[in-house]
Structure 1
Amino acid sequence: MASEAQDIPQLQLEAVIGFNGQVFGGLKLHPDREHMIYPLGSTVILKRIKDGKQEFLHGHTNNVSCVAVSRSGYYVASGQVTFMGFKADIIMWDYAKRAIYARLQLHKAKVEALSFSPNEKYLVSLGGQDDGSIVVWNTETKQAICGSPASPHAAGHCLTIQYANTNDNMFISAGSCTLRVWELDVPNRKIRPTECRTGYLKRVVKCIEITEDDKFFFCGTTSGDIMKVFMKTGLLNGCGPVKKKYIQGVNTIKVLKSGDILVGSGDGSFTLCSGTNFKTLQQVQLEGGVTSIATTAEGQQFFVGTAAAHIYQCSYGDFKAELISTSHNCAVKDVAIPFGSSELFATCSQEDIRVWHINRSKELLRITVPNMTCNALDIMTDGNSIISAWNDGKIRVFAPESGRVLLIIHNAHSMGVTAIAGTRDCKRIISGGGEGKVSVWELLQGGYQLLELMKEHKATVTCIKIKSNDKECVTASSDGACIIWDLMRFVRIQMVLANTLFQCVCYHPEGHQIITSGTDRKIGYWDLYDGSAIRELEGSQAGAIYGMDITQDGGHFVTGGDDKLVKVWNYPEGEVTHVGLGHSGSITSVTICANNHTLVSTSADGAILRWRFPHPPSSS
């Protein structure tokens, strides 16, 4: 993938919208107090708090599963998930150089957790469920010192690991009915565990936090309580809260200098409680289960990450949470930019549609339809409505400023609405469904009527594009056909066939040709007059192409798909002019803004990437 892009000029990445809130403890604050560090797909993002400027650490081949930062901030470490039977990489990054310092490989399938020793001599890593081992690494030699199974045979899986604050030779591991204090014996290359005695308490521990002096450590459990344990003896010192436990378990905890504890639970409550009796002092409710808490050295400012892919900022004084970053928490299905505009764009994901400001990457509006999936969307050219296709077979039309429902077309398609487009005159909507039918709807004052139902496709309609004069449209389908329809007489004008599942199609602005792509990785140029193939390009070396858009002057087009590369092509020559490296998941859609300044791409990992488009519009 990288070799394919190395000789071609790279697209300039301007901003990334995205945060993987499913990684427990994934949000970190660098000791320089200027940057947040967090994962998104296979990328580690460094985001400057002051102005939101982002930098990216690329090197993982699959999703990042854990992140750790050394005490001085000199090193950042990240582990990844991979496939059964394959080694999962740990990458140590040189923070100052923003470069790979070492790549460590021993764990199989997944790296569950990482932690640096206080003097940064060692890095301890914990393998996932299918690996079950702990390995201690020397950061200077980049070699493994020793390793051991993480849990005793009678216990369950180990879930977390944490180094002591004052001792380079001591760390703690915990998980399902296992809680161990480990001692590192470097001369003999061994780690020796001591079982903690919690008596009758049998818990699944998800997170560990050790006091600054290493006297006690706290364990957050799935049962919704916190255990306090003596570090030296491994004996239980207390467990609480006794009466009101944290709903959906304790996901993450942080001990402050004052001795109080910050607690993040699975129901989204973020709590400040006493470190002695676990009594709640302050509490605020956030959206999504709290999965990460990062604090400044003084413990006065907190940054909180949730499973809903939100990041909040909170202070010790007033304990009010301010939402500073939002993003989709699952695959983004489609993206649309209003006609003639370069300030806003809209995206759709599982159950919501969001409108964003292009330059500030800020969410302006969110429209949520619970328990439904939005498959596609379009913005009418007058900018007065967002039309959207949903898996419950309905077409929903929303006002773009308020998010108010303007119209719902019920039972539009029996197997869900899978593609949608609006005409330039804003009077009609063309929709496609999972059953292969194409419907033409006329919008009336406060209502609608079905003008025609066209049934020629045999499988899901994946993409619809309307010709600029509103008299024709082209529909792509996974049945291997693209059909050009007459929107005046509602009959087929032409059909192109290929041995592929078509995923995307575009009209050339002059209207004589279309370009297509799909699962065969080929980009096809087709003549609309007789449906003949004009040219075929190798669009990708790996996987299908799902997104395609063309500039208004027809000089360039852009594609994206399973190879995770955004490619800008010269239309007449059929050559790649620029490649964008940045996505960690399969690219699902791409679009170019009207003035050719900005390109927006979305992917299956929930990310939205904004690129500088390299070709200004031609003066002609």
Structure 2
Amino acid sequence: MKFAYKFSNLLGAVYRQGNLSFSNDGNAVISPVGNRVSVFDLKNNTSETLPISTTKNITCVGLSPDGNLAVVVDEDGAALLVSLITRAVLHHFHFHKPVSSIRFSPDGRRFVVTKDSVALMYHAPGKQREYNAFVLDKSYYGPYDETTCIDWTDDSKCFVVGSKDMSTWVFGAERWANLLYYSLGGHKDVIVGCFFEKNSLDVTRTGPRTNPSPRGRGGDEEEEEEVEEEEVGDTTEGEVIRGKAEAPKEKNETKNVRFKQRSKHFFNKQGDFNNLTAAAYHKSSHILVTGFASGIFHLHELPEFNLIHSLSISDQRIASVAINGSGDWIGFGCSGKGQLLVWEWQSESYVFKQQGHFNNMASLAYSPDGQYVVTGGDDGKVKVWNTNSGLCFVTFTEHTSSVTKVTFTSSGFVIVSASLDGTVRAFDLHRYRNFRTFTSPRPAQFSSLAVDVSGELVSAGAQDSFEIFLWSMQTGRLLEVLGGHEGPVSCLCFSPVQSILASASWDRTIRLWDMMDSWQVKETIPLTADGLSVTYRPDGQELAVATLNGEISFWDPQTATQTGCVVGRHDLEMGRKETDKITAKQSAKGKSFTTVCYSADGESVLAGGQSKFVCIYNIKEQMLMKKFEISCNLSFDAMEEFLDRRKMTEFGSLALVDEGAGDGDGVTISLPGVRRGDMSSRHFKPEIRVSSLRFSPTGRSWAATTTEGLLVYSLDGSLVFDPYDLDLDVTPASIRKQLCLQEWASAIVLAFRLNEKALKQEVLETIPHAQIPVVCGSLPDIYVEKLLGFVAASLEKSGHLQFYMTWSQSLLMLHGQKLKNRSALTILPTLQALQKSIQRHFDNLSKLCDFNMYNIRYATALSKQRGVKRAAEEDVGKEEEEDEDEELSEEMSVASLDDTDLIL
């Protein structure tokens, strides 16, 4: 029950390959990431990775018109029918060949799949439960090369298929009297997109051109085809399909559907780098979006082909383009950089912009409150992710080489990173800038990093000079260079309670350095093999060391004595790589754990390395508690346990055969010592491995940086029944009876003994607000910590902010001294979870208050301005009235004079 961690989210990767899709309401974009599918909510600015995975990387995703179902297909043609409501797999199917595209009909009754040169139409699964959800209806043949794209008419009667043979085929979904199939030509390269007009049979096609046009304008072209009927003497009886401009005719005058070219347009792009790679069309607004290999995209209005926008989003190839239902947002996917963008073309602004690490992630660290995660990658970038939303909100690009280690300071507002470029940099999360840069007297490649509890001392270990460098965070000056290791320094760790630095090295020693006593070596601990990773327990009373022989040893830092050892070599279960000539079992003997971390309570340790498995060991019992398989993606290397005989040839393994130019006599293998495949080849499979592991300070989750990305596993408390001191009289009926009798304290005790979340929440929210201090004071000590943990978990998602804040305040005020006297390992995760929840609400409320404050200021300033304007208008009006009164009095005086003259 304690280790019931489930896959929660995938961070660090937003798009890899395949097609993007918008949800039915247009507020979320669905993106394939490796062998998983991520859903990015653009309205709430959150991300979610579905708990499903295919056996290989996903190539295309088909979404049903109502947005409830999705068909996910991988590289081999294995398909999953997924419910987007329950997030569950409903059906498995295999197309036996790679699928290029899939599209549901607008009425949701059928969907078309294209593979090779064939288009297959299936009956879509309905609401009723069926034995076989995919039933083949018809197979359509026509193209001579691989098919590329599909589109349906609005009435679901016809669909069009584009192909690599430069032709476009229009097929009838049923057997119509005047249309069986129709082939459209005219392009000189691959058809990238083909689209029907709204409520019509008019076809728009886009495709790149490889040769210049007769007018000297090279690049891409776009054509539009229009429906026209000609007299063909066909009097076949049956239902007739008609275009939008056609008047109803009698059945005996049926004429075949004819297409003719109406217009042709060119993009005026020259060079192969500007080839058209992706296209999308919005039927209602007649907007055509085209993406190019140079990272440029165009917006044109059809049929006049008027250019609306022409912008560049990156220098990489745009792999996929999608438009939401309203036509306001356009999604772009760049597989080269792993970039996902959503652009609002009317306001010319980004709605969503995310990019993962271009290469492998090397390290991660949690903030002290567990709200943020920082990662460093081989691309030299440092990214900070929000654990609640799963999105990156700041990226630092100051490093010029791979980032090897990252960490937070104890304040949580400073990030320190070490890199192979010879610098250690400190970043400020308030101003988002690099405010300190630490360097060594001689250039060194830093492979390890540690910051002490006070945040004043920064240490980094070099892998070439075998030295440890020590800097001051305040001044940025180098304080000391610690020498003594006879091999590269692989890992550094400061004690959480003392100024003691532990360093692990390849020279088979652990050295403890005393920062208070002239930086001298306090203790040297001998190891049986090279030290790869070292970490302190959260209370600083124990050390865990991972060595090259696959063992994890535990040491008492005070007496330098070994307290335990775990042999985990057999738990790694290393897979067999394609180029290996030995079995996976034999290969695992040379593997080891490369990263180790303690759980929040210090009772267990989490370990991972060159394997697809992450292991949790109980320290006291020195035994394996649980193993997590972080990936089942066969697109990675070292995943299969046994040799695949289908990949064997007469020369040996297919991966070892050189398919390049040569005389054919010799067999070229990859260079010896190359771990990630032959870099000189055009394609290689990345190897699955875990580079870093960290437990969240709250103890509710843990994260791992892997070849796939940043995987987050968290506790799913709703599915776990974990009672405490259960008895026969502990039932929901007895708990509700205590509530009716207003025995609040006994009701809480019974609810926590049964330990069901819904029941605990019901009991807690039934208690009157005025009785909270009284109930907290009468609670037994053993239930105080459990209640505080539940309040911290409920406060994170509940809207009853003042109610749960009152609970936490009463518990801390009345039982603070008792909690303080307990072990820090047991109470610290609960307090950090409470701090994370309060900080999250504080951030949300502060933003809302700032927004309201600025609105009120704007409203008052606007009212003052209008008041001044109204006063000025009133002054002007008074002056005009006075002028009018003066003129009137003068006229009256003149009139009285005339009257007196008349009387005289």
What value does the CA root-mean-square deviation take over the aligned residues?
4.2
Q: Is 1:41 aligned with 2:38?
A: no
Name the SS for the 2:50 alignment partner: strand
Name the SS for the 2:602 alignment partner: coil
**Alpha-carbon offset, residue 74 of structure 1:** 4.5
Whether the 8 Å contact between 1:380 and 1:426 is mirrored in structure 2 is yes
Partner Cα separation in structure 2 for residue 218 and residue 545 of structure 1: 54
Which of 50, 55, 67 does residue 73 from structure 1 map onto?
67
Q: Is 1:225 aligned with 2:225?
A: no
Where do residues 332-343 of structure 1 align in structure 2 (5 Å cutoff)? 332-338=361-367, 340-343=368-371
Which of 673, 688, 699 does residue 596 from structure 1 map onto?
699
Partner Cα separation in structure 1 for residue 573 and residue 113 of structure 2: 35
Q: How big is each residue's C-alpha offset from its partner over 1:161-195, in whole Å with a ceiling of 9 and x where there is no partner?
A: 214335566441334x64442648999xxxx9976
Alignment CA distance shift 1:320-1:427 (3 Å): closer
Amino acid in structure 2 at the alignment position of 1:420: L
Whether the 8 Å contact between 2:690 and 2:704 is mirrored in structure 1 is yes
**Alpha-carbon offset, residue 363 of structure 1:** 3.2
- Partner of residue 16, structure 2: 22
Alignment CA distance shift 1:381-1:19 (3 Å): closer
**Alpha-carbon offset, residue 598 of structure 1:** 4.5
Alignment CA distance shift 1:381-1:74 (3 Å): closer
Whether the 8 Å contact between 2:168 and 2:185 is mirrored in structure 1 is no
Partner Cα separation in structure 1 for residue 593 and residue 136 of structure 2: 41
Alignment CA distance shift 1:535-1:12 (3 Å): closer
Which of 48, 52, 56 does residue 50 from structure 2 map onto?
56
> Which structure shows the bigger proportion of residues in helix conformation?
2
**Alpha-carbon offset, residue 353 of structure 1:** 0.8
Which of 695, 704, 709 does residue 606 from structure 1 map onto?
709
Whether the 8 Å contact between 1:211 and 1:255 is mirrored in structure 2 is no
Which of 412, 416, 421 does residue 392 from structure 1 map onto?
421
Amino acid in structure 2 at the alignment position of 1:392: D
- Partner of residue 91, structure 2: 102
Whether the 8 Å contact between 2:62 and 2:103 is mirrored in structure 1 is yes
Where do residues 344-493 of structure 1 align in structure 2 (5 Å cutoff)? 344-349=372-377, 350-369=379-398, 372-383=401-412, 385-410=414-439, 416-435=445-464, 437-443=466-472, 445-457=475-487, 461-468=489-496, 469-475=498-504, 477=506, 481=508, 483-486=510-513, 488-490=519-521, 493=524
Partner Cα separation in structure 2 for residue 549 and residue 13 of structure 1: 19
Which of 559, 573, 581 does residue 621 from structure 2 map onto?
573
Q: How big is each residue's C-alpha offset from its partner over 1:435-476, in whole Å with a ceiling of 9 and x where there is no partner?
A: 47242223372432551244422x6x5433233323331325
**Alpha-carbon offset, residue 263 of structure 1:** 2.7
- Partner of residue 188, structure 2: 202
Which of 95, 101, 111 does residue 113 from structure 1 map onto?
101
- Partner of residue 4, structure 1: none
- For the pair shown, the structure with the greater C-alpha radius of gyration is 2
Partner Cα separation in structure 1 for residue 47 and residue 436 of structure 2: 39
Report the TM-score when normalising by structure 2: 0.56
The structure, 1 or 2, with the larger RCO (C-alpha pairs under 8 Å, 6+ apart) is 1
Name the SS for the 2:326 alignment partner: coil
Moved more, 348-357 or 392-401: 392-401
Q: Is 1:273 aligned with 2:300?
A: yes
- Partner of residue 507, structure 1: 536
Q: How big is each residue's C-alpha offset from its partner over 1:402-442, in whole Å with a ceiling of 9 and x where there is no partner?
A: 34333434568877332222233444433334447242223
Amino acid in structure 2 at the alignment position of 1:115: R
Moved more, 51-60 or 9-18: 9-18
Amino acid in structure 2 at the alignment position of 1:138: Y
Q: How big is each residue's C-alpha offset from its partner over 1:98-151, in whole Å with a ceiling of 9 and x where there is no partner?
A: 33233232445x544333345555544455xxxx56462634553567879997
Alignment CA distance shift 1:9-1:326 (3 Å): same
Amino acid in structure 1 at the alignment position of 2:360: A
Name the SS for the 1:376 alignment partner: strand
Alignment CA distance shift 1:413-1:59 (3 Å): farther
Alignment CA distance shift 1:221-1:54 (3 Å): same
Partner Cα separation in structure 1 for residue 65 and residue 716 of structure 2: 40
Name the SS for the 1:321 alignment partner: strand
Alignment CA distance shift 1:471-1:582 (3 Å): closer
Whether the 8 Å contact between 1:228 and 1:239 is mirrored in structure 2 is yes
Partner Cα separation in structure 1 for residue 440 and residue 205 of structure 2: 54
Alignment CA distance shift 1:169-1:54 (3 Å): same
**Alpha-carbon offset, residue 44 of structure 1:** 1.6
Which of 211, 235, 253 does residue 197 from structure 2 map onto?
211
Where do residues 115-154 of structure 1 align in structure 2 (5 Å cutoff)? 115-120=103-108, 122-126=110-114, 132=116, 134=118, 136=120, 138-139=122-123, 141=132, 142=134, 152=144
Whether the 8 Å contact between 1:302 and 1:314 is mirrored in structure 2 is yes
Q: How big is each residue's C-alpha offset from its partner over 1:5-54, in whole Å with a ceiling of 9 and x where there is no partner?
A: xx9963255554355433242x2112244543222222123444443363
Whether the 8 Å contact between 2:418 and 2:446 is mirrored in structure 1 is yes
* Identity within the alignment, %: 15
Whether the 8 Å contact between 1:389 and 1:417 is mirrored in structure 2 is yes
**Alpha-carbon offset, residue 260 of structure 1:** 2.2
Amino acid in structure 2 at the alignment position of 1:571: I
Partner Cα separation in structure 2 for residue 220 and residue 434 of structure 1: 52
Partner Cα separation in structure 2 for residue 80 and residue 170 of structure 1: 23
Structure 1: gaps of 5 or more residues: 1-6, 82-86
Alignment CA distance shift 1:534-1:183 (3 Å): same
Partner Cα separation in structure 2 for residue 64 and residue 150 of structure 1: 27
Partner Cα separation in structure 2 for residue 136 and residue 413 of structure 1: 65
Whether the 8 Å contact between 1:293 and 1:303 is mirrored in structure 2 is yes
Which of 320, 344, 347 does residue 349 from structure 2 map onto?
320
Amino acid in structure 2 at the alignment position of 1:253: A
Which of 254, 259, 263 does residue 280 from structure 2 map onto?
254
Structure 2: gaps of 5 or more residues: 126-131, 211-218, 227-257, 576-591, 634-687, 718-785, 790-824, 829-904
Alignment CA distance shift 1:259-1:429 (3 Å): same
> Which structure shows the bigger proportion of residues in strand conformation?
1
**Alpha-carbon offset, residue 72 of structure 1:** 3.6
- Partner of residue 774, structure 2: none
Alignment CA distance shift 1:120-1:364 (3 Å): closer
Amino acid in structure 2 at the alignment position of 1:345: V
Moved more, 207-216 or 407-416: 407-416
Alignment CA distance shift 1:179-1:417 (3 Å): farther
